Structure formats: structure tokens, C-alpha cells
Amino acid sequence: MATLTTPGPAVTAGPGPTPARRVRRDSGRKRLEILLFVSPALILFVGFVILPVVLAAVYSFFNLPPAFQWSNLADDGRFIGFDNYVRALTSPEFQKAIGNTFFILVMSLIVQGPIAIAVALMLNRPLRGRSVFRLLIFVPYVLAEVIAGLSFKLILQPNGAVNATLEAIGLGSLAKNWLADPAVALWTIFFVLTWKYIGFAILLFLAGLQGIPDELAEAAQIDGASWWQIQRHITIPLLGPTIRIWAFLSIIGSLQVFDMVWVTVAPAVRRIATETMATYMVQQGQFAGQPGYGSAIAVILFVISLVIALIYQRFALHRDLKGALTNGVR
């Protein structure tokens, strides 16, 4: 005979986390992971970038002796407000340094850009030994600036290789003291900088050319466009984002030119003809025993670089940054 059993009360699980609570927990976990991964780089950035800028800004308001300690800043230094900035902006030497820096900046954009684009377009075509040419062009860029500067200092001496070559081919009248003549010293430095950095621009443009579909050029060629018309109306416009990125890097690099000028040119000639903002800052802040004045120069250089970078990003890189964003997120 079968027996009937009555079912007991149903056992139900406790209430689980709500969707909103789960989302908050996952979001907190992601923030913690991001913080763990970012914190080492953030600490280095604050310690080696933000903190020096802040300290330089503080030092710039004091007349400091050559040797001083931060803990005794109030005792070692005399607060002079904006006097260091007024002195810098009214100094003919610093004004000359600003002019030389912007000369290098403008000439880099005018000369290096077109040459690099032309060479990149040539190397982008089928050419025997193209890999060797690319390697040779990039070699100067990987050399340390000190090595390149010292090498050209030997080559450009009055009895160096350049003048000897000019004498050998019957152009001895063109021989000069390239690094000691104030009339040509700045142009010589610009030539050395071009030799050093144009390889980077060429490789950057070659990388940009790889992203341009070949079908566009083939279609234009079928329609009867010449090679020059294809480059002018298709290739170079599509290379625009790469050109703008290179121009930005060239501008920032030109504002910070230091090593090549410092190593290559003698101090007496440098003060007359080739002084840049960076070399003037080091000369005054370290070797002339005026750390407060040198800090003011550093702050001015930082502000000029920041303003130019922000303006360039707003008006030149804006279209590229906007095109890389999705869903209207900035």
C-alpha cells in the first residue's frame, strides 16, 4: 500500500546582489586594476616631470647663489618676484636665442618636410636596393647626438674633410671655418640637424604611405592621371595626418635643441651666433652661477612649448583627433 507524503516547505536561496550593485563592484575592481597598472608610470611622471617644473617655477622667483639647499631656500635666496622674467625677456642675448630657436624650427618645417616627402615617395616605388637605402637613411637618426656632433666638429674644422674636399675639386674659395664663422655657423648647425633627423621623417612618411590603398592610384591612372597628379591630389592629401604628426614632433624637437649646438660649437661663437633657448638656459643657470635666472628661462621655454603645442593641437591635430573618436566621446 502506497503512502502519501506531503511536501515540505520550499527552500529558497538568499537574495543575490542586485544588477546595480554588481555593476558598481565590477567598476570598482576595474578602477583598482587601472590604478595598479598606472601608478608606477604616474609616480615617475610626477617625480621627473611635474616636480621639476614646480621647483623651477619656485626657484625662478629668487635670486639664488650658485650652491644652495632647498631646506634653506628662505635663508640662501632673496625673493625678487618677476625680476628674473623681466631680465630674460629684455635681454638681447635671450632674444637672440629665441630668434635662433625659431629659425631652426621654421627652416626644419620648410626644408626637411618637402625633402623627406620626396624621398619617401621615391623609396615607396619598386626600386632595386630599396631596403639598403632605407637603412642608410635611418642610420644617422639612431646615432647619439653627442657622437654626431663631435664627428661633424672634426669634419668641419678648417683642416677637416669638407675643406680638404673643396680644395681637391678646385673650389677652395668656398672653404670656410664652418663652426667659427658667425655668418655661417647657424646654417651649418641646421645642416647637421637636418642630416641627423631627416631619416626619421622619411621613415615616418613611408609608414604613412603603406596605409594608402593602391587601388586609388590605379583608378586614377586608368582615368588618365599622371604620376605627379596622383601624388598631388591623392597621395599627399591622404598623407596629411602623418605630415601633421611629424610637424608636431619637429616643432617640439626644434624648441628643445641643445646637445648638437652645445657639443659642436665653441662657447664664444655659440653666444654670438648659435645660442638657443636651451643652451642659454644651461649656460646661465649652471655655468654662470645663476640658478634662479636659469630656472626663469626654463619656465619661459616650458610655457612657449606648451602654448605652441596646445595651439597646434587645437587647429592642426583637431581633425585627426576628432576622426579617431567614436560615439562623440572626447
- The enclosing H or E element of 7 equals none
Does one domain contain both 127 and 70?
no
Is residue 116 within 8 A of residue 140, CB to CB? The reply is no
Does one domain contain both 219 and 314?
yes
Q: Give the pLDDT of residue 33.
A: 84
* Domain interval for residue 319: 94-323
User: What average pLDDT score do residues 188-205 get?
Assistant: 93
Structural domain includes residue 167: yes
Q: Give the pLDDT of residue 70.
A: 58
User: Over pLDDT 90: what percentage of the chain?
Assistant: 44
Structural domain includes residue 328: no
Structural domain includes residue 287: yes
Write down the H helix ranges in the chain.
19-45, 51-59, 73-76, 83-90, 92-107, 113-123, 130-142, 145-155, 161-168, 185-210, 214-222, 227-230, 236-238, 240-255, 259-264, 267-269, 277-282, 291-315, 318-323
**DSSP-assigned letters across all residues of 264-300:** HS-HHHIIIII--HHHHHHIIIIISS-HHHHHHHHHH
Does one domain contain both 46 and 112?
no
Higher pLDDT, 77 or 94: 94
Structural domain includes residue 5: no
Number of domains into which the chain is organized: 2
Does one domain contain both 44 and 112?
no
Q: Give the pLDDT of residue 109.
A: 94
Q: Give the pLDDT of residue 315.
A: 87
What pLDDT band is residue 72 in, cutting at 50, 70 and 90? Answer: low
Structural domain includes residue 82: no
Is residue 197 within 8 A of residue 253, CB to CB? The reply is yes
CATH classification of the domain holding 250: 1.10.3720.10
- Kindly tell me if the per-residue pLDDT of 295 is higher than 70: yes
Does one domain contain both 38 and 103?
no
End-to-end CA distance of the chain: 77
Structural domain includes residue 281: yes
